[in-house]
Amino acid sequence: MPSEWWRDAVVYEIYIRSYADSDGDGVGDLEGIRTHLDHLVDLGVDALWVTPFYPSPMADHGYDVADYTDVEPTFGDLAAFDRLLAAAHDRGLRVIVDLVPNHTSSEHAWFKEAVADPSSAMRERYLFRDGRDGGALPPNNWTSVFGGPAWSRDEASGQWYLHLFDSGQPDLDWRNPDVHEAWRGILRFWLDRGADGFRIDVAHGLYKSALLADEETVARPGGPGSNVGRPQVWDQPEVTDVFRDWRRITDSYDGDRMMVGEVFILDVDRVKRYVGDDRLHQAFNFTVFRTPWGAAALRATIETALDAFDPPTWVLSNHDLTRHVTRYGGGDLGRRRGLAVTAALLALPGSPYLYQGEELGLEESDVPPERRTDPTWFRTGGKVPGRDGCRTPIPWTAAGPGHGFTTGHPWLPFGADAATCAVDTTPAVLTAYRSMLSVRRSLRGSLGNRVTWLDTADDVLAFEREGGLVCVLNTAAEDVDVMAAGDILLATAQGASASGGVVTVPSASTVWLRRR
Ligand code: NOJ
């Protein structure tokens, strides 16, 4: 693999609970991933990011970590991780491990000691504070991203502890040097085991404003509970120093290890401060998933990202977001649009992050209330449906009841499209993803990062990437003809053609041309 492989890597996110279950308990596991790696090879991705597989009471399905250097028995053990890593490396796939440094589980030994002995040094690793009104009210008015207050009372001491997410996820105090030292050890543990990189959860949240004062209660972009637009809570000036420190650690290992931050801020000028040769290698660019269907909006988003990052990442879906087929209107139309946008992103410089199941064209699943499991659902009393609908298991076979995912009872029900989108039916979307990734691979090395926009009708997005790849996305309801000379390399819908310097692009589809 070339050095700085991550710069144009296609990374596939595995939400471990829902990828493949090897032991029939209804929950996916490391061995299930290992035995389904060939799907990723056939798809043509470069790396997999596996969501947390640490011991966890599962208040937030693994994003509440009770021990950062071990494996949850439901998911396997350290030997299973080693086997997965070796098998992935044998196939030329890199493996990215998910780190959760903003908070631990309330079952982590540090927190348990902090509660059991308020005078212990562990107490200082968290944000315990006296409440207001003689302790009856939380120390400030902060709310949890999952809904409800961001503070819970420790009944034994009467103090309150901060949790930006669930009460089972107490926030660490990154102003304490012990926390930094402990985390250096955690990084080294996984780097020594051979991990190729880290995805860093809530990377923009590690520090909170020192005063922990009340927030102004103004409407937040993204709605109540949103991750964005909270100047006291996110993106404090000190936070990037953590990643400078971590970069010295990853750079001290051979093998081109990398870090990608979940920096959930929509202002790319702020996000880009997290990325660079002396800090994170990449940050998720969440602007695309928020961009509505339409050429002008997509172009503006893409241009902004290309200006800010060298080069950007592209995120259309993940385990926290409504599946993009559904966001784009659902059904065949949603699938068509989803494919069209994905093809445009795959033609651009940078690193696309794919989410398991999007290559099958899966829609958001309608999970009935009695099967919902997401803390967001519970903490908002069902007002926010939560993220279960994008996390339902992967259907490997059209035949049920376990669809090749499990021999037992799946932890979440399958979506209504499980039979029609199953891997063994080779849905049209899967064929399209395989083609896109294979053509992209064949062009690797021959393309540069410069992008030139082509003048076209308003509903069309068209650009030429340095090296002669022309990409035309038609967001109109009708087919369009665009002046562009070249041979068609790929089309996401039937009916595309090119002749005499004119390419016909069907409605809601993308065409790639190689300039002659
Ligand atoms: C972001 C993760 O992607 C999400 O699933 C999780 O609930 C929060 N961080 C808290 O860890």
Picking from 219, 12, 181, 44, the residue whose alpha carbon sits closest to that of residue 101 is 181
Q: Provide φ and ψ at 113, rounded to 5°.
A: -70, -35
**Is the C-alpha dihedral spanning 283, 41, 328, 317 positive or negative?**
negative
What's the gap in Å between 227 CA and the centre of ligand 1? 10
Q: In what order do the strands lie in the sheet with 509-514?
A: 451-453, 460-465, 469-474, 509-514, 487-491
Ranges of residues in the chain with a pLDDT under 50 are 1-2
Outline where DSSP puts E strands in 204-286: 258-261, 282-283
Cα separation, 392 vs 35, in Å, equals 19
Max CA separation in the chain (angstroms): 80
Picking from 378, 428, 389, 431, the residue whose alpha carbon sits closest to that of residue 18 is 389
pLDDT of residue 1: 46
Single-letter residue type at 299? R
pLDDT of residue 385: 87
* 201 included as an active-site residue: yes
Picking from 104, 346, 106, the residue whose alpha carbon sits closest to that of residue 206 is 104
Evaluate: CB of 320 within 6 angstroms of ligand 1.
yes
What's the gap in Å between 63 CA and the centre of ligand 1? 6
Q: Whose CA is nearest to atom 11 of ligand 1?
A: 63
Evaluate: CB of 201 within 6 angstroms of ligand 1.
yes
The answer to whether the peptide bond before residue 401 is cis (omega within 30 degrees of 0) is yes
Q: Whose CA is nearest to atom 4 of ligand 1?
A: 320
Evaluate: CB of 72 within 6 angstroms of ligand 1.
no
Cα separation, 275 vs 371, in Å, equals 39
What's the gap in Å between 466 CA and the centre of ligand 1? 37
Q: Whose CA is nearest to atom 3 of ligand 1?
A: 320
Neighbours of 489 (CB within 10 A): 19
What's the gap in Å between 473 CA and the centre of ligand 1? 32
Q: What is the position in ligand 1's atom list of the atom closest to the CA of 164?
A: 10
Q: Whose CA is nearest to atom 6 of ligand 1?
A: 63
Single-letter residue type at 354? L
What's the gap in Å between 137 CA and the centre of ligand 1? 27
Q: What is the position in ligand 1's atom list of the atom closest to the CA of 102?
A: 11
Cα separation, 121 vs 127, in Å, equals 12
The SS3 assignment for 72 reads coil
CA angle 48/54/55 to nearest 5° reads 155
Query: Which of the listed residues 163, 169, 198, 202 should we mutate to test ligand 1's pocket, taking the one with most ligand atoms within 8 A of CB?
Result: 202
Evaluate: CB of 166 within 6 angstroms of ligand 1.
no
Calculate the alpha carbon distances from 508 to 26, 139, 310, 476 in Å.
37, 51, 29, 6
From the candidates 60, 201, 235, 364, which is the catalytic residue?
A: 201
Tokens of 179: 């926390």
Evaluate: CB of 202 within 6 angstroms of ligand 1.
yes
**Is the C-alpha dihedral spanning 312, 316, 318, 322 positive or negative?**
positive
Tokens of 213: 């004062």
Domains of the chain, earliest start first: 5-101+177-437 (3.20.20.80), 109-162 (3.90.400.10), 448-514 (2.60.40.1180)
Cα separation, 28 vs 35, in Å, equals 11
From the candidates 29, 31, 262, 364, which is the catalytic residue?
A: 262
* 262 included as an active-site residue: yes
- Tens digit of each residue's pLDDT (9 = 90 or more) over 362-385: 999 999 999 999 999 998 898 888
pLDDT of residue 227: 66
Single-letter residue type at 477? A
- Tens digit of each residue's pLDDT (9 = 90 or more) over 101-138: 999 999 999 999 999 999 999 999 999 999 999 999 99
DSSP string for 285-341: -TTTTTSPSSHHHHHHHHHHHHHHSSS-EEES--TTS--HHHHTTSHHHHHHHHHHH
Evaluate: CB of 31 within 6 angstroms of ligand 1.
no
Cα separation, 269 vs 278, in Å, equals 17
The SS3 assignment for 512 reads strand
Q: Whose CA is nearest to atom 5 of ligand 1?
A: 320
Strands 509-514 and 469-474, bridge-based pairing: antiparallel
Cα separation, 50 vs 137, in Å, equals 39
